[in-house]
Structure 1
Amino acid sequence: MGFVTGLIWWVLVCTKVFALVDCIRRKPYDFEMAGTLPKNIWLVILPLSIFVDIVVRQPISILPLLGTVAALVYLAQTRGSGY
């Protein structure tokens, strides 16, 4: 893995870890108010996306990109909603 690819990988993994920590700290009521998926579903999706990143270690392949999109959707829906 080259320097740039490694740097992209680390940034994306840190984004997913940030989303997971944020999800763990939020109350289930916040998810209802934001109109998004329940907390339990996000607590399955986000760790799974981190696991896929660690196993695949290629930030520009389909499964890690899907995990990145999921983490960004989570952050946009919950943190962006103000709840």
Structure 2
Amino acid sequence: MQTIYHIQDWLMFVLLLGVLALQVWALVDCVSRKAAAFPAAGKLTKPTWVLMTVLALIVVLLLRDVTNLVSYIAIIISSVYLADVRPAVREISGPSRW
């Protein structure tokens, strides 16, 4: 029985690392984009997206649990940026500055 708990803890840790990697990727990409491209793509402003992705990262870092509602919302924010905002802004501005 103890082995099952160790496997579960390990899987939750790997999941947490994956979520943190996703959120750091969203934040770094957001910071590296030109501010003018966000409204040109019909999205919220760059400071708004930076703030939301920073808050999402902070929430998951503080809670260290990806199985509660607040963490789900934080994951969704980063995922929406990467799946919807990033392609639209990238189309307008081209590759990131970094």
Structure-2-length-normalised TM-score: 0.78
Residues 6-65 of structure 1, C-alpha deviations (whole Å, 9 max, x = no match): 111110111010000001000111111221111111111111111111111111111111
Identity of aligned pairs, percent?
27
How many residues of Structure 1 are paired with residues of Structure 2 in the alignment?
83
Distance in 2 (CA, whole Å) between partners of 1:35 and 1:77 is 11
Specify the structure having the higher radius of gyration (Cα). Answer: 2
- Listed as ranges, the gaps of 5+ residues in structure 2 are 1-7, 93-98
Give the equivalent residue in structure 1 for 2:68.
61
Secondary structure of the equivalent of 1:80? helix
Give the equivalent residue in structure 1 for 2:31.
24
Q: Aligned Cα RMSD in Å? A: 1.3
Distance in 2 (CA, whole Å) between partners of 1:12 and 1:75 is 13
- Listed as ranges, the gaps of 5+ residues in structure 1 are none
